[in-house]
Every structure is written in C-alpha cells, then in structure tokens.
Structure 1
Amino acid sequence: MKVVLFNSLTKKGILMTLKSTRDMIEKVLITDTNVINAITRQLNIKNIRNEMFPTWRLTLQPGEEYDLGTAYYGAYLVRNSDSGAAALIMVGAGVSSNILLSDGNSISTDFTAGGKIILNKKTSNGNVYVKNGRSTEAYINVMQITNY
C-alpha cells in the first residue's frame, strides 16, 4: 500500500510506502503543541523565543504588585528601564530567592525593601510576584529564562 505524505511548508506530496511512513512517524515524536506551532510558523525566531521564554512588560504604580501567574522556579531576568537596572534572580520553591547578577542596588528580592523593584515568591511553592517599591511609576520587564 502506498500513501502520499503532504508537506504543508513546501506544498508538495511525497509518495511513500505505509511502512516507511510509519517508520518516519516513529522517529519524529513531537507532541508539544508549542513546538508544533513554532515549526508551522516557519521557524520565526521571535515566536520561538516568546514560547520558550515568557516575558511580562509591566507598568506599575508606586507600591503596586503584580502576580506573574507562574510558580515555576529558575532564572528570571528583571529590567527596569527607568533606572537602567537589570538583575538575574534565581527563584526556588521557597521564598528565599537570590540575586545572582545585578548591575546595581535598585532591584531586590525583599518585599520590605523601599525604593526598589522586587521579584520573589510570597509563600513556598506560590506564584512569583513583582512589586514597585519606588515612589514613582516603574516600567518593568521580566523574562522567565527557565521554562518547564
């Protein structure tokens, strides 16, 4: 028995035996819909980056907090465009996140710190929060580098 395997990217069909088609399918076991969607968008690097590294672009008022809606632990890149500050923060399951790299002291993991941008969890295994501890509006970018 012969089958036609159609390639949606090239818009061409390939005549193959059923066995060779089955062998090919067994070799390529892609089940993650994000990967499939990225491939079908013709490997647009921006789309792949957005799928792999979720990013939040926030404008927070003084004292305002934002729940990122994720409890994943790993690395988070925090940037504050107002002060030109950036930090790489390691977030674990607990509330004791650590700043791995920072170019200054305007980003913190301590929710009681004043005058800083804060990123941390409030409870063990809880969601990650960002807070504007500054006295002025803050434009904050957060990129989750570790994605599960």
Structure 2
Amino acid sequence: MKITFAVLGLATMITHSAQAGELYIISRCAPIQILTGWKTDPFGSSSPVFVNGKLVGNLKICDALRTNVGAGNHNVRVKLAGKSDYGISSDAGMSVAAAAAPVYVVMTNNNFTSAYVVNSEEGRQHLANVRQANK
C-alpha cells in the first residue's frame, strides 16, 4: 500500500513539474552597474509586464521579474512607459515557449523594444548580474 502511494506521489510530482515552469524577464545592466551596483536611474519609472494579457509585475532597467507559467507557448509584452510601438513593446508582444525548465527572456536594449530567449547558463548569468548590481 505504501509503495502504491509513493508511486502515485512521484507520478503526480513528475506530471506537475512537466506542466509548470519559471519565466524570468530580465533587463540587462550596463557594465558599470554590475561592477559598482550603481543604477543609472534608481527612481525611474518601471514598465508593466504582461504574460498572456495578465499583469505579472513591473520591470526597470537593471532589474528582473519572475513568474510561474504552464508548459506551452506564452505571449510576453512589456508596455514601455505608455508606448506600444515595437517588438516586445508592441500589442503583439513576443511568443515564448515554456516547459519544466526555467526560461530566460533578456531585453536587448534599455527601451524594451526587443528581447530574446537565452540558454539557461546565459540566463543565470544575466540574473546574477542584476542581483549583484541591486545588492
């Protein structure tokens, strides 16, 4: 009987982990921010981030946002300070495929008009840089 419950519990954990994952949206830091922790605009406004049309938080330059998502394709959009014209800032946003492993979306510039998905190693490094700068 105990073995049956253990097997059922393991199957539930495997099924659950295959259905949910972490999505990190990262705004890179300039090298001076990484080395000194100094932010270019610590009081600057932040931009709302939407996943599948739902607000999940706000993102500043040299910042990161984490949210849980299910497996499958998700629409990520960053509405930049009232503008909604280009790339990930546009109404169309960006399609991101998620699975059980964390997914890292990194902004290519400080105006959040474009982004790309990076591999786990590079994503963890970008995340570490943001955390280091924000200590």
- Answer whether TM exceeds 0.5 for this pair: no
| Greater RCO (CA < 8 Å, at least 6 residues apart) | 2
Question: Which structure would you say has the larger Rg?
Answer: 1
**Hey, which of these two has a bigger chunk of strand by percent?**
1
Structure having the larger proportion of residues in helix:
2
